[in-house]
Amino acid sequence: MAKSIEEINEKIKQGKVVVATAEEITDIVDKKGLKEATETVDVVTTATFGPMCSSGAYFNIGHAKPKMKLGGGRAYLNDVPVYAGFAAVDVYIGATALPDDDPRNKVFPGEFKYGGGHVIEDLVAGKDLKLAATAYGTDCYPRKKLETWINIKDLNEAVLFNPRNVYQNYNVAVNLSDKVIYTYMGVLKPELGNANYCSAGQLSPLLNDPYYKTIGIGTRIFLGGGVGYVVWQGTQHNPTVKRKDNGVPQAPGGTLAVLGDLKQMKSEWLVGTTMQGYGVTLTVAIGIPIPILNEEICRYTAVRDEEIWAQIVDYSEAYPQGKKESLGEVNYTQLKSGEITVRKKKVRTGNLSSYPRAVEIASTLKEWIEKGDFLLSEPVAYLPGPETGYTFKPLKERPIA
């Protein structure tokens, strides 16, 4: 008998809901079988805590006296440029923004000590930030210069809005060249010196709902330590990715755009991150509940690390040159063992995404639901699935003149 989200929410309100994390459900299905697991468990919590570059936040800072129009002018938070192409006092900061005078990779590999991701972390932590702005001045907004301390509690709105988070699977990065390379997948030692991956594997949200049957637009989630929502498919959403027979993508697939009130988030769950020689980004904590509506959905949540496969990609040549070559595939049990074999060589592995933190997020979300503090939401629209033919295309370069 299929369940509905409404029924599950009733159970939550009555304190009778049964919740399991995506790790626990695997054991429950093993021991009790799929049918009983589906009947007894109402919600499975999934989670991830990894660097997600396509993240940022917008703020409304409130009007100065006399009024000033940041829109069309220039603005900086702690010397990091924020985007001021909106209305008078709305600005957006991206996770990878860097100070104008940051040397970047001029002295290679660059240190990238402070950028957008750190500004967001500092803001959420309640620190005072320096806002500096210039404007061209109009009759209604005559002011041309502003320098002030600001604090998140004084902002009107502070909204985390991430165009692409929660990648459904990702690559395993290696370096076939003879020099160390510095990438968004971390420092990669030469000649298969190490292999870095970035996924929570069996805990990862979209790997537990591979065809986006429950996670959709409007799904309420744990975001950055507070509550947020899925608002759209993320950029580069690729539902037509190649999948194994169990439906799980074997390469990067779907993505989510998420949003939430920054004021109720916590800095331990939104961490400014530096990738040496690459840049600054933001490590984001996300937890997504999956309502166990029927056996099919339950089966997807019982996926284990050894059933999730990823492609090994060379980041020294193949990736930067856009060559779609895979050096083979490995599953997440092999990756988490600490060592995999690539081209007959034993290669030590490193994860960019913190599994212990993902476990903590999934457990925290489970607690919130059990206590009745978190209700599930029915998506208002579903994400495009593989049947739509939606795909992630490369740029079609058309030179000008």
Partner 1 sequence: MISRRIVLRFPHRLVDQPIVCKLVKDYDLEFNILKAYVTPREEGLLVLELSGGDKNYERGMRYLRGVGVKVQPLSQDIIRNERRCTDCGVCVPICPSGALVVEPLTRKVQFYDNKCIACELCIKACPVQAMEVHF
Active-site residue list: 140
Among 196, 214, 334, 364, interactor with partner 1 by CB under 8 A: 196
Number of residues forming the site for partner 1 (CB under 8 A): 33
Q: Give dist(CA 383, CA 397) in Å, integer.
A: 28
97-116 positions binding partner 1, by CB under 8 A: 109, 111
Q: Give dist(CA 185, CA 47) in Å, integer.
A: 20
- The smaller minimum CB distance to partner 1, of residues 50 and 239, is found at 50
Q: Does 274 bind partner 1 (CB under 8 A)?
A: yes
Q: Does 66 bind partner 1 (CB under 8 A)?
A: no
Q: How far is the CB of 338 from partner 1 (least distance, A)?
A: 6
Choose the stretch contacting partner 1; rule: CB under 8 A; options: 30-38, 65-73, 226-234, 268-276: 268-276
Q: Does 194 bind partner 1 (CB under 8 A)?
A: yes
- The smaller minimum CB distance to partner 1, of residues 169 and 273, is found at 273
Helices (DSSP H) in 5-154: which residue ranges? 5-14, 24-32, 34-40, 116-124
Q: Does 293 bind partner 1 (CB under 8 A)?
A: no
Q: Does 326 bind partner 1 (CB under 8 A)?
A: no
348-367 positions binding partner 1, by CB under 8 A: 348-357, 359
Q: How far is the CB of 6 from partner 1 (least distance, A)?
A: 37
Q: How far is the CB of 170 from partner 1 (least distance, A)?
A: 13
Q: Does 94 bind partner 1 (CB under 8 A)?
A: no
Q: How far is the CB of 91 from partner 1 (least distance, A)?
A: 25
Neighbours of 40 (CB within 10 A): 12
- The smaller minimum CB distance to partner 1, of residues 285 and 369, is found at 285
Q: Give dist(CA 401, CA 386) in Å, integer.
A: 37
Q: How far is the CB of 241 from partner 1 (least distance, A)?
A: 24
- The smaller minimum CB distance to partner 1, of residues 193 and 372, is found at 193
Q: Give dist(CA 12, CA 6) in Å, integer.
A: 10
Q: Give dist(CA 307, CA 328) in Å, integer.
A: 15
Taking CA atoms, 357 is separated from 346, 369, 387, 397, in Å, by 27, 18, 34, 41
- The smaller minimum CB distance to partner 1, of residues 187 and 302, is found at 187
Q: Does 279 bind partner 1 (CB under 8 A)?
A: no
CB 199 within 8 A of CB 309: no
Question: CA 298 from chain center: how many Å?
Answer: 24
Q: How far is the CB of 327 from partner 1 (least distance, A)?
A: 17
Q: Does 189 bind partner 1 (CB under 8 A)?
A: yes
CB 54 within 8 A of CB 235: yes
Among 18, 38, 5, 8, smallest CA distance to 294 is for 38
Choose the stretch contacting partner 1; rule: CB under 8 A; options: 13-21, 96-104, 134-142, 187-195: 187-195
Q: Does 41 bind partner 1 (CB under 8 A)?
A: no
Structure tokens at 337: 């063992």
Classify each residue of 269-278 as buried b or exposed e, where b means 16 or more C-beta atoms within 10 Å of its C-beta: bbbbbbbebb
Q: Does 266 bind partner 1 (CB under 8 A)?
A: no
Structure tokens at 283: 């490590």
CB 79 within 8 A of CB 130: yes
Query: What DSSP element (H or E) covers 90?
Result: strand 90-94
Q: Give dist(CA 239, CA 98) in Å, integer.
A: 32
Q: Does 172 bind partner 1 (CB under 8 A)?
A: no
Amino acid at site 234:
G
Q: Are strands 129-134 and 74-77 parallel, antiparallel or unpaired?
A: antiparallel
Among 22, 44, 70, 187, interactor with partner 1 by CB under 8 A: 187
Choose the stretch contacting partner 1; rule: CB under 8 A; options: 156-164, 270-278, 296-304, 373-381: 270-278
Q: How far is the CB of 193 from partner 1 (least distance, A)?
A: 8
Q: How far is the CB of 23 from partner 1 (least distance, A)?
A: 11
DSSP codes, 178-223: SS-EEETTEEE-TTTTEEEE---GGG-GGGSSTT-SS-EET-EEEE
Q: Which residues bind partner 1 (CB under 8 A)?
A: 49-51, 109, 111, 186-187, 189, 193-196, 271-276, 283, 336, 338, 347-357, 359
